[in-house]
Every structure is written in structure tokens, then in C-alpha cells.
Amino acid sequence: MTVPALQITQLAKSFGGVAATRGVSLTIMPGERRLLIGPNGAGKTTLFNQIAGDFLPDSGSIELFGETITRLPTRKRVHMGLGRTYQVLTLFPRDTFLHNVALSLIGSEGGGWSAWGALKHRSAMLEQAEQALVGVGLGQAAHRRVSETSYGERRRLELAMALAQKPRLLLLDEPLAGLSAEERETVRVLLEQIPRDVTIILIEHDMDVALAFADQITLLNFGQVILEGTRAEVIADPRTREVYLGG
């Protein structure tokens, strides 16, 4: 029997008495592309934060490839194969693209900032970082400072940072947000090229891209799972039109 890539059971989290997630249960299988949709405030990013370890749930459980991670710190989840991008970019603008990716690798190793001074001597890590940049079409920009680049390039940099850690499960929080039509197409192609040995959970408001990408869709509202199913099933369900599409 195949072990789920991610198993969430009755996950709940409140802030000041306001429920952000309420009894969320999800089963994501290895290699799956799962899309989370719902209006602003539905609990999508809060759910990501709990999966990644940024927030600890009030109740419920999270299993990553059969291992319980509910209370583990973020760095240990990364070591177990969990990768993530953020809705708001988290980069070092004065450093180069290459150093940003290398720093993400140092963090995933648990080496901490003490390793920064010796980075120039860690040729294997720098090579891995450069390969990640090439993989997202940024090989030529490896030595450019982040502050000198476009927003679309920074989005691709963040994806390179996540992929460099060789995740087995990747959480993508609005990777197309703020991009031009040309940049969205570039990132869409990159996402399509990620191999199926990486399971992907996506939050995205560009529905044309997101719906074409997803195998299964979960609709959230007020922190609860409203429905799940294939693209056709979710689009056809009247609850989707009521909650998300405004119909």
C-alpha cells in the first residue's frame, strides 16, 4: 500500500479566538499536483504555515511520508524532504542569486551562519546552487545582486532555492503573483518541468494556469474543507461558484 506524501488529520489553529483552520483533513499522494483554492482569508496560507512548521497547530496531526511531523521544527521538516516558497518573497537583496541559493542550502543542512565565511571553499554546494539556477533559467544571472533584478527573476530565484534542497514535497504559495503575462508563462513552464517524484501543493489565483496544472483540487472557506475532487468535479459543483467564483 502506497504511503501518502502528506496526511493531515483534523488540523485546527486559532488566533485570538478566530479559527484559521478548523478540522482540516487532507490526503496527498506521492507525485500528485494538488491545488488549494478559496477566497482571501480561507486559511490556505495558514495551512501551509502549519505544514511547514511556522505555526504549530492547536490540535490535529501531520504526517510526511508516514512520519509524524506535527511538532517538529521547520529545519527538521526540510531535512525530511519538505520545501516551500512564500507568498511574500524572503530573499537577501544585497547578495547575489548564487549566494541566496547557497544560503538556503546551508540552512537546510543546519550549518547556520557560521558556515557563511567558509562558503567559498564549499565548491560542491556552490555547484549545486548554480545547477538550481540553471534549472530555472537563471544561470546567466548567478552573480547578479538580487536588488538589481526584476520581480519575475526573484520569483524564479525563490523557486530555485526551494528546488536546490531536493524536496520530496513542495509547497508553492502563489508563485505567479505579481508577474507579467510573459513571466507567468516562464514560471508555468518551469512548474510543468518539475519531475513527478516531487509532490506539489499549490496555492494560486491565476486559475487558468492552476487548473491546468492540478490533478486534484481542494476548496477551503473559513478554514474548512468545503469539497475536493478533480478539476471538472470542483468547477461543476455549485459550492465552488458560491464560495469562490461569486456565482
Whole-number percent of the chain with pLDDT over 70: 92
What pLDDT score does 123 carry?
A: 77
Mean pLDDT, to the nearest integer, of 180-201? 91
Contact present, 10 and 61 (Cβ < 8 Å): yes
- Provide the total of helices (H) and of strands (E) in the chain, helices listed first: 9, 10
pLDDT digits (tens, 9 = 90+) for 17-41: 899 999 999 999 999 999 999 988 8
Q: CA-based angle 202:192:171, to the nearest 5?
A: 25
Mean pLDDT, to the nearest integer, of 192-213? 91
Mean pLDDT lowest for which of 166-170, 195-199, 203-207?
203-207
CA 227/CA 221 separation, integer angstroms? 10
For residue 3, what pLDDT band results from cuts at 50, 70 and 90? Answer: very high
Mean pLDDT lowest for which of 41-45, 85-89, 115-119?
115-119
What pLDDT score does 225 carry?
A: 96
DSSP annotation of 2: P
pLDDT digits (tens, 9 = 90+) for 121-179: 577 888 889 999 998 989 999 999 999 988 889 989 999 999 998 999 999 999 988 88
Statement: residue 193 has pLDDT above 60:
yes
Mean pLDDT, to the nearest integer, of 210-239? 92
Domain 1-81+168-183+196-247 homologous superfamily, CATH: P-loop containing nucleotide triphosphate hydrolases (3.40.50.300)
Statement: residue 208 has pLDDT above 60:
yes
Provide the β-strand partners of residue 15. 18
CA 192/CA 19 separation, integer angstroms? 34
3: number of Cβ within 10 Å: 12
Domain with CATH 3.40.50.300 in the chain: 1-81+168-183+196-247
Mean pLDDT, to the nearest integer, of 61-72? 97
Between 118 and 231, residue with greater pLDDT: 231
- Model pTM score: 0.90
Statement: residue 118 has pLDDT above 60:
no
Residue with grid cell 508577474, as numbered in its chain: 179
Across the chain, mean pLDDT equals 88
Amino acid at 128: Q
Statement: residue 107 has pLDDT above 80:
no
What pLDDT score does 246 carry?
A: 56
State the DSSP H helix or E strand holding residue 135, giving kind and residue range, or none if neither: helix 123-135
For residue 62, give the nearest of 36, 20, 27 by alpha carbon.
Answer: 27
Task: Say which residues have a Cβ less than 8 Å from residue 117's Cβ, sequence separation at least 6.
Answer: none
What pLDDT score does 115 carry?
A: 47
What pLDDT score does 113 carry?
A: 47
For residue 117, what pLDDT band results from cuts at 50, 70 and 90? Answer: low
Mean pLDDT, to the nearest integer, of 81-103? 86
Q: How many CA atoms lie within 13 A of 217 on its CB side?
A: 21
